[in-house]
Amino acid sequence: MSKKLISLLVVIGLCAVSGGAQDLALKGGTVITVSKGEIPKGTVVIQKGRITAVGSDVAIPSGVKVIDVSGKYVMPGLIDSHSHIALADINEATDPVTPQIWMWEALEPDSDAIRKTLAGGVTTIKTMHGSANVIGGVNVTIKLKYGAPVEEMMVQGVRQQLKMALGENPKRVYGSKGRSPSTRMGNAHSARKAFIEAQEYKAKWDKYEKERSEGKKDLTPPKKDLKLETLKMVLEKKISVDCHTYRADEIVWIINFCREFGIDLLQLSHCVDGYKVADVIAEAGVSFGGWVDWWGFKEESYDGCPFGFTIMNDAGVNIVINSDSADEGRYLYMNAAKVLKYNELTQNEVLKMITLNAAVSLEMEDRVGSLDVGKDGDIAVFDKHPLDSTTKCVMTIIEGRVYFDHAEESVTVEGGAQ
Amino acid sequence: MKKHAVWGFILFLLTAGVIFSQGTILIKNGTVVTVSGSSLRNGCVLIRDGKIADVGKDISAPAGARIIDAGGGFIYPGMIAPFTALGLTGYPGAGNDTNETGTSTPHMDPFDAFNPEDECIEVARIDGITTALTVSGSRNALSGGALVMNLKGDLADDMVMKKHAAMVFNMGAKVSGKYPSTLPGVNALIRDKLNQARRYADRTSRSLKKDKNAEPIARSLEMEALIPVLEKKIPAIFVTMNEVTIRGALRIIDEYDLKGILFANGGILKYADRLAAEKIPVIWSGTMTIPRRWEAYDLNYHTAAVLQKKGVLFAFNESAGGPGSRNVRRQPVPAAMSVAHGLSEDAAVKALTINPARILGISDRVGSLEKGKAADIFICSGNILQLSSKVTAVIINGKEIPMTSVQTRLRDKFAPLVRERRARK
């Protein structure tokens, strides 16, 4: 094989790994970095999918395609840390403990919901198992690269999160079948029993691996158990946890539970009562990941309170606004604006809730969530300020590639469907 | 004794003062969005005896009037939510009284279940919703009655603006495994019931005239409820969700010569010209409906702008799924989204205020800031189409309402508790 051919193959290989990463410069818009304030008439340069320059006086390297976004607003791509889109299946509702389920195996890269969500400026989502089970499946964090192979959509090198769920949903699903859990006590027992078994399973495997590394002969490996294999990874902190909660008591319960078992709890999803125990959440370093004004749709959601953001912000909680919905995932920026209606917070604090704070909840703050050199070139362009409720997203870019362009997809342009 | 009399007199004066000042309110220092005419910058609204007494640039405060400073914000007529379940829902244990069992329940009157203590009422009104249509449900082919309520009062009787305000039909109310299990079945059931009601009305009137040949008739509350619909005394609201159900509704409106209103959450644009020509108004509930796979992402965001352009009378409704109660406060969300996609701000505000008033037949009383109308007003820190704007005061029938709800009470309870625990650490 010639050297030329080998280098060509290497280039092709790199392209495949980088998922269609491209060079692109956005010039002339108001750049909302989220991390370092706003830059009027700023420029963002993306090369090989990464941001290489952000500023008001930036030279654009030759050969880089330039889009003039004068008069528009350029911000980091929005992040939805609780979604269920782009999945063929959501709930393995046949057993209260199903950690053998991996949601990436249900991913549908050509799901139309991806396109509709891209139109709201969203670039990264965590798409999740449902809430039927106390321990559900392993969620998957993806970039919304519509139509790309699953491996390219999935964010590599980041810990995935196991879905857990407390409260009424598992109670209803199994209680209605005459099975346990049908109470919160039963929920707690399901989780505790599973992780105690996982501790025992891990001890067996640790012993086996240790003896093998010491060169001991004639060893029989312990029997593989796919459920416990995942939970063992949780105990080893190779997988973290996102737990669906509503009531304050169960928020405190899961924080204590995870502490007891040495589990990394990263996000409390929905967390409707979060403001009541904001101090506890802040101290545990867990993210609140919920809605702004949804409430009262079932008994445990009655104390939902849009004024609670002030309490959580004062306590130092990492606040994330997410959707849990194919509908609301399309206008996270409007939901962010509502926070300002009910709370005295700054615009940047609120923008963080749909970008950088969400990145923190996904342990991706080094890669996405703000417009900083070295981060992924994931960008949403709006025609007005993103917290102006009469704004619209006009362009969504992932790693330098345009995945949504209002000028091509709107019903108002010629050839658009009506 | 003398001392008591003096104190009594002072108390009387104080009480009289309070009553007097409650009667007259001057709102000043705000942009008055009259809706009926042009907006007044730095304008005033004078309220007397529950009604709007004057709207203008410079109104001096009558003696004893309470003055509300709008702080440079916006003064709007209260928003009117045209399709809700407010009053039929509430805190756990209070029950949910929407959707009686059956496929034909036109005799269900939401006034019989209206609970003024429904927590959802306060949540909606502190965000500027002052009037709502409450429907008995929307799940059945012939769902039931509806009433217009103003959202202030301890007793349902004090809140009613219009009883028997409309009749709700659902063109998509198929029932699995039972009749009607198809959309044509729904159409047939509705026609059957309307035919029966027409015959019932005819026989009743003959019987009243003591026609010798008239057979004695057994009373039917179900039939009685449909007669005002056939007589065009009340409008018929048809819940539709796509082209097929819209077509069904338009045929029935035509066949029975009804005063029809469409509740639509999709598929409406093909019919916009016809709706404008036939003056059939629309409760447009589909702004936030996710378009289908083959439709443009902004088809529904853009629909209100098209309805406006074609001259269709429409009002926004926040809940595409049917009557909502929890988040009626979200009424401005579809309006803002529609403005982002081509609707004018003026038209959007109209579709939250005067348009629903016209559709519900109450525009002579509410929906704009005009002399003589009920003083249903809210003051907002900014434009109501900005979801970040704060509603700072709400007035219904000339009375300021307390800006509290279950949610402000939760905030006031838990904020100090969290603060105390943090201080201890």
Q: What is the pLDDT of residues B157-183, one digit of tens each?
A: 999 999 999 999 999 999 999 999 999
**Can you give the pLDDT at residue B206?**
83
Give CA separation, A60 vs A23, A65, A372, in Å: 11, 9, 16
B22 — pLDDT class (breaks 50, 70, 90)? low
Check CB contact of B299 with chain A, cutoff 8 Å: yes
Indicate if the pLDDT at residue A17 is higher than 80.
no
Whether residue B125 sits in one domain with residue B48: no
Among residues B8, B241, B272, B423, which one has the least CA distance to residue A315?
B423
Reported as half-sphere exposure (CB side, CA atoms, 13 A), residue B419 has a value of 10
Answer whether B296 sits within 8 Å of A411, measured CB to CB. Answer: yes
Give me B335's structure tokens.
């309006």
Query: Count of CB atoms within 10 A of residue A52's CB?
Result: 17
Which residues form the domain of A166?
78-368
The model's pTM: 0.94
Task: Tell me how many domains chain A contains.
Answer: 2
Mutate to test the interface with B, among A300, A341, A348, A403 (most CBs of B within 10 A): A341
Residue of chain A nearest B118, judged by CA positions: A296
Q: Of B319, B344, B366, which residue is a domain's last? A: B366
- Residues in A closer than 8 angstroms to B95, CB to CB, are none
d(CA B101, CA B107): 12
Same domain, B402 and B422: yes
Q: Within this chain, do residues A43 and A111 fall inside the same structural domain, yes or no?
A: no
Q: What is the mean pLDDT of residues B330-336?
A: 98
Determine the average pLDDT of the residues in B107-116.
Answer: 96
Q: For the residues A78-84, what does the mean pLDDT come to?
A: 98
pLDDT digits (tens, 9 = 90+) for B46-95: 999 999 999 999 999 999 999 999 999 999 999 999 999 999 987 666 77
Which residue range(s) make up the domain with B90?
79-366
Same domain, B112 and B241: yes
Do A17 and A152 fall within a single domain? Answer: no
Tell which residue, A313, A330, A360, A351, has the closest CA to residue A76: A351
Q: Are residues A200 and A338 in the same domain?
A: yes
B291 and B417 in a single domain? The answer is no
If you average pLDDT over residues B193-222, what whole number do you get?
87
Q: Closest chain B residue to A248 measured between Cα atoms?
A: B414
Sort strands B160-170 and B142-150 into parallel, antiparallel or unpaired.
Answer: antiparallel
Report the length, in residues, of chain B.
425
Q: How far is A72 from chain B (nearest CA, A)?
A: 14
CATH number at residue B374: 2.30.40.10
CB contact under 8 A, B407 and A338: no
Q: What are phi and psi of B59, to 5 degrees?
A: -120, 125
CA distance A84 to chain B (A): 15
Contact B418 A388 (CB under 8 A): no
CATH number of the CATH domain containing B177: 3.20.20.140
State the total domains in chain B: 2
Q: How far is CA A4 from CA A10, A14, A18, in A?
A: 10, 15, 21
What is the rounded distance in angstroms from the CA atom of residue B254 to the CA atom of residue B267?
19
Q: Kindly indicate the confidence band of residue A415, based on its pLDDT and cuts at 50, 70 and 90.
A: low
- In terms of domains, do A382 and A361 share one? no
Residue bearing the bigger pLDDT, B225 or B96: B225
ipTM of this model? 0.94
Examine the domain organization and report whether A234 and A380 are in the same domain: no
Region B325-353: what's the mean pLDDT?
97
Whether the predicted pLDDT of A18 surpasses 70: no
The reply to whether A26 and A174 lie within a common domain is no
Burial of A244 (0-12, 13-18, 19+ CB in 10 A): buried
Residues B26, B95, single domain; the answer is: no
Partner-chain contact A115 B297, CB within 8 Å: yes
Q: Is B424 near chain A, with CB under 8 Å?
A: no
pLDDT at position A42 is: 98
Interface contact flag, A410 B296, Cβ < 8 Å:
yes
Residue with tokens 């939805």: A80
CA–CA gap between residue B112 and residue B256 (Å, rounded): 28
Does B310 reach chain A within 8 Å, measured CB to CB?
no
Place B17 in a pLDDT band, splitting at 50, 70 and 90. very low
Q: Are residues A362 and A387 in the same domain?
A: no
Radius of gyration of chain A (CA): 23
Q: Are the CB atoms for A70 and A96 separated by under 8 Å? A: no
Average confidence score pLDDT of chain B = 93
Whether A119 and chain B come into contact, CB under 8 Å, resolves to yes
* Model confidence pLDDT, tens digit, residues B257-287: 999 999 999 999 999 999 999 999 999 999 9
pLDDT, position B12? 52
Task: Return the ∠ at Cα B159 (arms to B152 and B382), rounded to 5°.
Answer: 35
Residue A390: which of B298, B340, B390 has the nearest Cβ? B340
The answer to whether the CB atoms of B418 and A338 lie below 8 A apart is: no
Question: Per-residue pLDDT for B386 more than 80?
Answer: yes
CA distance A8 to chain B (A): 38
Asked if B410 is an interface residue toward chain A (Cβ–Cβ < 8 A), one would say: yes
Give me the residues of A, 239-278, that contact B with CB < 8 A: 275-278
A56 or A9, which is more confident? A56
Residues A254 and A143 in one domain: yes
The verdict on B333 and B213 lying in the same domain is yes
pLDDT recorded at residue B209: 78
Average pLDDT, chain A: 95
Last residue of a domain, one of B335, B366, B397: B366
Q: Provide the total of helices (H) and of strands (E) in chain B, helices listed first.
A: 12, 16
Residue range B209-252, pLDDT digits in tens: 777 777 778 899 999 999 999 999 999 999 999 999 999 999 99
Q: Over 90: is that where the pLDDT of B321 sits?
A: no
> Among the listed ranges A78-87, A198-207, B20-29, B58-67, which one has the minimum average pLDDT value?
B20-29
Q: Which of B290, B342, B422 sits opposite A412 (nearest CB)?
A: B342
User: A411 and B293 in contact by Cβ < 8 A?
Assistant: no
Q: Which two tokens stand for residue B274?
A: 């016809």
- Chain A CB contacts of B309 under 8 Å are none
Q: Dump strand ranges (E) for B335-396.
A: 377-380, 391-396
Q: B136 vs chain A: nearest CA distance in angstroms?
A: 18
Residue B205 sits at the chain A interface (C-beta within 8 Å): no
- pLDDT of residue A71 exceeding 90: yes
- Amino acid B276: pLDDT: 98
Residues B54 and B113 in one domain: no
Run of H or E residues at A387: none
The whole-number average pLDDT for the span B193-198 is 98
A116–B294: do the CB atoms touch at under 8 Å?
Answer: no
Q: Is A311 left (phi over 0), alpha (psi -120 to 50) or beta?
A: alpha
Answer yes or no: do B259 and B373 share one domain. Answer: no
For A341, name the nearest residue in chain B, comparing CA atoms only: B388
Q: A262-306 pLDDT, tens per residue?
A: 999 999 999 999 999 999 999 999 999 999 999 998 889 999 999
Which residue, B319, B337, B366, sits at the end of a domain?
B366
What is the pLDDT at residue B19? 47
Cβ-based contacts of A334 with chain B (< 8 Å): 333, 336-337, 387
- Same structural domain, A394 and A412: yes
Q: Which of A146, A334, A390 has the highest number of chain B CBs within 10 A, making it the mutation to test binding with B?
A: A390
Is B10 an interface residue toward A (CB < 8 Å)? no
**Nearest CB neighbour to A418, from listed B89, B293, B299:** B299
Same domain, B67 and B54: yes
CATH code at A291? 3.20.20.140
Q: Chain A contact for B297, CB < 8 A?
A: yes
Q: Do A276 and B417 lie within an 8 Å CB cutoff?
A: yes
Query: Which of B74, B289, B414, B420 should be substituted to probe chain A, the one whose Cβ sees the most A Cβ atoms within 10 Å?
Result: B414
Interchain contact, B91 vs A302, CB within 8 Å: yes
CB contact under 8 A, A390 and B326: no
Beta bridge partners of B168: B144, B237
Contact B341 A392 (CB under 8 A): yes
Q: Where are the beta strands (DSSP E) in B78-175?
A: 79-84, 129-135, 142-150, 160-170
pLDDT at A153 over 80: yes
Residue A228 buriedness (CB in 10 A; 0-12 / 13-18 / 19+): buried
Residue A8 has pLDDT above 70, yes or no: no
Share of chain B above pLDDT 70, in %: 94
**Whole-number percent of chain A with pLDDT over 90:** 93
- B269: chain A residues, CB-CB within 8 Å: 418
> What does the pLDDT read at residue A21?
83
